[in-house]
Amino acid sequence: MKVKIKAKFFALPRDYQGEREMEMEVSEDFQQALEEIDSRTKIGIRDKLDKRFLILINGRNYRKVLEDKGKLEEGDNLAFVPFLGGG
């Protein structure tokens, strides 16, 4: 099943992508959705996930969210963020 999500890009991920926000329709299965996101964006997220970048779903670490609900839902916000350091 397909769901409509909003993808937001910050700092380096946004640098790769060239824009701040995108709306897209993706598979509700997360791994499948990542494949689809890779084909439509310039980030190469599957290679970089957990190594250089993270995904937060509605503000929470994607792993935790998927543990809770198992799949993406209509209206989910996906934030593509770099690992954070203070300043």
Partner 1 sequence: MDNEKYFGYAGKILTVDLGSSDYVVENTPFDLIINFMGGKGFGAKILYDGLKPGCDPLSQDNIMVMATGPLTGTLMPASGHIALSTKSPLTGIWLDSHCAGFFGPELKMAGYDAIIIKGKAKKPTVLVVKDDKISFEDGKDLWGKLIFESQELLRQKYGENCQFMCIGPAGERKARFANIVSGGRGFGRGGSGAVMGSKNLKAIVVKGTKAIRIHDFDGFMRMCKEAYNELSVSPDTGGGRPKYGTNSIYSFMIEAGAHPIKNFQTGVFEAVKECNEDVLDKKYYKRHIACFSCPINCSKASRVDDGKYKGKFTEGPEYENMWSLGAQCGNSNIGSIIYGEHLCDEYGLDAISAGNVIGFTMECFEKGIISEKQIGFRANFGNDDAIIKFIEMMAKGEGIGELMSQGVRRMSKELGKGSEKFAMHVKGMEMPAYDPRGAFGMGLAYATSDRGACHLRAWTLGDEVLDVQERMDPFATEFKAELVKNQQDFFAVIQSAVVCLFLNFGLTQRQITRCIQTLTGIKEWKTTEDILKIGERIYNLTRLFSMREGISRKDDTLPERLLKEAVKEGPTKGVVVDLDTMLEEYYLVRHWDEEGRPTKEKLAQLGLDKYRV
Residues found near partner 1 in the complex (CB under 8 A)? 8, 10-12, 14-15, 20, 51-54, 56, 59-61, 63-64, 79, 81-87
Question: Shortest distance, CB of residue 51 to partner 1, whole angstroms?
Answer: 7
- Residue 30 or residue 53: which is nearer to partner 1 going by CB? 53
CA separation for the pair 59, 38 (Å, rounded): 21
Question: Which SS3 state, helix, strand or coil, does residue 60 take?
Answer: strand
Nearer to partner 1, 4 or 64 (CB): 64
Q: Which of 22, 49, 23 is nearest to 35 (CA)?
A: 49
> If we measure between CA atoms, which residue out of 23, 15, 21, 20 comes closest to residue 43?
15
C-beta of 39 vs 51, nearer to partner 1? 51
